Amino acid sequence: MPLLSNHIAVVTGAGSGIGRAIAGGYAREGARVVVLDINQQAAATTAKEIRDAGGKAESFALDVTRRDDCIAMAKQVADKVGPVSILCNNAGIARRNGMLGAAEAVINDWEDIIAINLNGVFNVTHAFLGALRASKGRIVNIGSIQSFVHLRTPSSPAYTASKHGVLGFTKALAAELGKDGVRVNAIGPGFIETPLNEKVRAANPDLVKVFIDHTPLGRPGKPEDIVGPAIFLASDMSAYVSGSIVMVDGGYRTI
């Protein structure tokens, strides 16, 4: 019996990498998946892959930074698809500039990263809150090892702050929505090979080595490594789990 039958699952940033894998995994478990991404073509491709594999999916373009668009999208999904019971807030960007660069660049990084990685999670969650409360839904937020630490490889304080924020938001929301039967959890991926870090990986094999040397399982993760935990947190298998973060980091934080 599939784990997510009769669920409608929204996944943001599902046109690529981790979100695309989670969307596919949710569909394999029987959910009807709403694929959202700022990149309409990429979202459409993910939805087509799911349908070609026999699953149910539709796609819409959504920039999670646009609060009004998120509200309009929640209405559109309710009308065209149905009542959403799973929300995976996955859309995110990463940059690796510190605080000491040119002021304009530092400020741009801060504004873009917080707008997408943190405000975006708020915007989409707030827009779908009515549906999620009505369905006793589940929210799965994508955090990071940077929900806890700043990396020993170059990374931006903005990214670290945004992912600490995602974890804090997860806990606060779990506390507030528990009485409605809504569960809110996060996943903390380690170093996962996706288009997000493709250029960095190609240009900096030394950085990759620092990461892998610090990862007990001794390999980078793949998007598919995130899928099982994402299904677990969305399904009844985690019926008494809320306010948690499941680290999917090859053990990175243990050493």
Residues with catalytic function:
159
Per rule CB under 6 A, is residue 12 in the interface with ligand NAI? yes
Adjacent-strand bridge partners of 8: 32
User: Which among 22-30, 84-92, 167-175, 227-235 is the span making contact with ligand NAI, rule CB under 6 A?
Assistant: 84-92
The residue from 64, 151, 177, 184 that contacts ligand NAI (CB under 6 A) is 64
Per rule CB under 6 A, is residue 92 in the interface with ligand NAI? yes
The residue from 137, 189, 229, 250 that contacts ligand NAI (CB under 6 A) is 189
Residue 208: other Cβ atoms inside 10 A: 17
Residues 6+ apart with CB under 8 A from 228: 25
Residues 6+ apart with CB under 8 A from 154: 96, 97, 98, 207
The residue from 125, 170, 197, 238 that contacts ligand NAI (CB under 6 A) is 197
For the bound state, the minimum distance from the C-beta of residue 223 to ligand NAI, rounded and expressed in Å, comes to 6
Per rule CB under 6 A, is residue 37 in the interface with ligand NAI? yes
33 touches 26 (CB < 8 A): yes
Strand 245-248 versus strand 32-37 pairing type: unpaired
Adjacent-strand bridge partners of 32: 8, 56
Per rule CB under 6 A, is residue 137 in the interface with ligand NAI? no
Compare residues 92 and 229 and give the one whose CB is closer to ligand NAI: 92
98 touches 157 (CB < 8 A): yes
In the block, residue with structure tokens 């975006």: 120
Using CB under 6 A as the binding rule, the residues of this chain from 140 to 159 that contact ligand NAI are: 142, 144
For the bound state, the minimum distance from the C-beta of residue 180 to ligand NAI, rounded and expressed in Å, comes to 25
SS3 93: coil
User: Cα(130)–Cα(29) distance, rounded to whole angstroms?
Assistant: 24
User: Which among 51-59, 91-99, 149-157, 199-207 is the span making contact with ligand NAI, rule CB under 6 A?
Assistant: 91-99
Per rule CB under 6 A, is residue 9 in the interface with ligand NAI? no
Alpha-carbon radius of gyration of the chain: 17
Site residues (vs ligand NAI, CB under 6 A): 12-13, 15-19, 37-39, 42, 62-65, 90-94, 116, 120, 142, 144, 189, 191-192, 194-197
